[in-house]
Structure 1
């Protein structure tokens, strides 16, 4: 921890600060895991809904209900894990806030150690320079003596050498004092940093253990869902699928009755046939006049006079009578003449109807 450059304090302090980064990164990791689990849960829910839209025809239809139920339970399992991870994220964030406050307090407490570190570092540098200067002055003094320099030059070099010696000794003493203070404070601070780091690692380990237990619990639930799915599929036999199809789509259990040959009975067959009444064709105006004529001829007085007037003539217009052009009237021609006669009679009847009214 001390080393040649006395940089142990800097290492321990930055390691403590790195704990905050680790806490933040752990929260980000758990948050990302929760996002993945949430997306997976939504996908499973969507898959379960799609299973409801699959074809419900045929004997395989009940199997989709098993898939839907199992998929929905899996989606709920992952959603439960999301809730637990979100609670864990809040716990990590809370710990991170407490960690920042604790580190700020620790920084104030180890401020004296930082001064001791800076002091010994500066004294060490000064001591090194004074040592180099002392060695240089001693070498210079010995060189002048060997080269036979003047007494004045030798004395002058001796003064410089003595001054360098005193400075070097002074820094050695200062270094000894700074070293003692540094070691004492550094030992206390190192223990403090170790306690902080141990507490940090213990807390982080507890968080990770909570994460592991949450995932383990959900995986146990997922295993139960899969086991239930296996059992449901084992209970869904071919016979049960066919039975469900027969119950839902069955059209009845009665078989067609026996039909025997029956001989035809002409008498009953004729009686069973009802005469069909044909609908006459006619224009609306003519039909109305025909109805008026029927009501008119229903009067006994009109019917008597109409028969006395037209019937003798109709009898005389039998086949053998010649027309105005000299041709005999037979068959259809007679029917045409009769229709003309009836038309004239209808006009006469309407006139009589007006008279009678």
Structure 2
């Protein structure tokens, strides 16, 4: 596992390079961007869930669904609408839960951003100081090497002109040689000081870079872990919503199991019945006989002791008889 740690894999042979550090920072920034995308996804899902829940509730309130049913089926339909309303309420509650999870993700993301920013400021200052000292050291080295060449040239001039110049000219050559040696010593000392200062800064930077790698790796571990758990929790919340919805629908199914076709029909009969007697047959009434009976009734009073006339006899007619047969003064249509 050691070879895959941040602190062992984001270096560069170029002292002033920040390629490894920049790669880590870019990855962390991308990670926070991914968290922001998931956060926005949760918010959008919450909006959808809330809208769906409200529409379900409005559906149960505004849309009739078997409103004239009676008895057990009516109760089953009432349970059905209640449970659909409950499903709508649960979707609204899920929307609130998703918004809360999105807020938690935002808090986590902003917290990591603040901590990273603090360390970035420290590392930026170290990088600036390191690069500045490296530049000074490179300049000191350039000057030192120039002084070395000047001293070498002065020595060569002294040896080359030892027997060719006057005493006074030779003295000037020795003075120039002495000055070049003195300048060389100064530049050498300054160069060594700069190298020493750069080494201290390099060690400090290396230690801070190692610490930064460890800190950033911890941040990335926490981010992935938090992101994974947040997604896992989100799926559990969706599954729980499905379970709750199924439980509500199961309540409707249990209500339907209590629905009795025979009882509902019996209830309807008892609740809406209009009578058990069918209408009597409609009999034929001869207009003329009706008129005669009316006249007879008006002109003759019934004899004492004589009751009402019994049922009319059935007329008998044979082939060739007229359409009307007269029996005891009554005329009937022959069928």
- TM-score for the superposition, normalised by structure 1: 0.51
Residue 107 (structure 1) aligned with residue 130 (structure 2): no
Offset of residue 37 of structure 1: 1.3
- Cα root mean square deviation, aligned: 5.4
Residue 127 (structure 1) aligned with residue 137 (structure 2): yes
Structure 1 residues 49, 134: CA separation in 2 closer, same or farther (over 3 Å shift)?
A: same
2:323 is aligned to none
Q: How does 1:1-357 map to 2 (within 5 A)?
A: 1-3=10-12, 4=14, 5=16, 7=18, 26-52=38-64, 68=81, 71-89=84-102, 91-92=104-105, 95=108, 99=111, 103=115, 107=118, 116-135=126-145, 151=173, 163-222=186-245, 255-261=278-284, 264=289, 268-270=293-295
Question: Would you say the 8 A contact 2:147–2:184 is kept in 1?
Answer: yes
* Structure 2 gaps, min length 5: 1-9, 162-171, 299-335
Offset of residue 2 of structure 1: 4.2
Task: Give per-residue Cα distances to partners, 1:48-76, cap 9 Å, x unaligned.
Answer: 3342189969xxx9899798567434423
Offset of residue 38 of structure 1: 0.9
Structure 1 residues 132, 270: CA separation in 2 closer, same or farther (over 3 Å shift)?
A: farther
Q: Quick one: distance in 1 between partners of 2:290 and 2:203? A: 139
Offset of residue 41 of structure 1: 1.5
Q: Quick one: distance in 2 between partners of 1:226 and 1:139? A: 95
Structure 1 residues 121, 234: CA separation in 2 closer, same or farther (over 3 Å shift)?
A: farther
* Structure 1 gaps, min length 5: 274-357
Q: Quick one: distance in 2 between partners of 1:256 and 1:227? A: 48
Offset of residue 27 of structure 1: 4.5
Q: Quick one: distance in 1 between partners of 2:233 and 2:86? A: 23
Q: Quick one: distance in 1 between partners of 2:107 and 2:196? A: 49
Question: Would you say the 8 A contact 2:80–2:249 is kept in 1?
Answer: no
What is the DSSP-based 3-state SS (H/G/I as helix, E as strand, rest coil) of the residue aligned with 1:52? coil
Structure 1 residues 233, 141: CA separation in 2 closer, same or farther (over 3 Å shift)?
A: farther
Q: Which of the pair is proportionally richer in helix?
A: 1
Task: Give per-residue Cα distances to partners, 1:221-247, cap 9 Å, x unaligned.
Answer: 3456677889999999xx99x969x86
Structure 1 residues 232, 143: CA separation in 2 closer, same or farther (over 3 Å shift)?
A: farther
Offset of residue 118 of structure 1: 4.0
Offset of residue 93 of structure 1: 5.7
Question: Would you say the 8 A contact 1:130–1:168 is kept in 2?
Answer: yes
- TM-score for the superposition, normalised by structure 2: 0.53
Structure 1 residues 71, 101: CA separation in 2 closer, same or farther (over 3 Å shift)?
A: same
Q: Quick one: distance in 1 between partners of 2:106 and 2:118? A: 21
Structure 1 residues 113, 260: CA separation in 2 closer, same or farther (over 3 Å shift)?
A: closer
Give the aligned length.
Answer: 265
Offset of residue 173 of structure 1: 2.3
Q: Which structure ranks higher in relative contact order (CA pairs < 8 Å, sequence separation ≥ 6)?
A: 2
Structure number with larger C-alpha Rg: 1
Structure 1 residues 255, 162: CA separation in 2 closer, same or farther (over 3 Å shift)?
A: farther
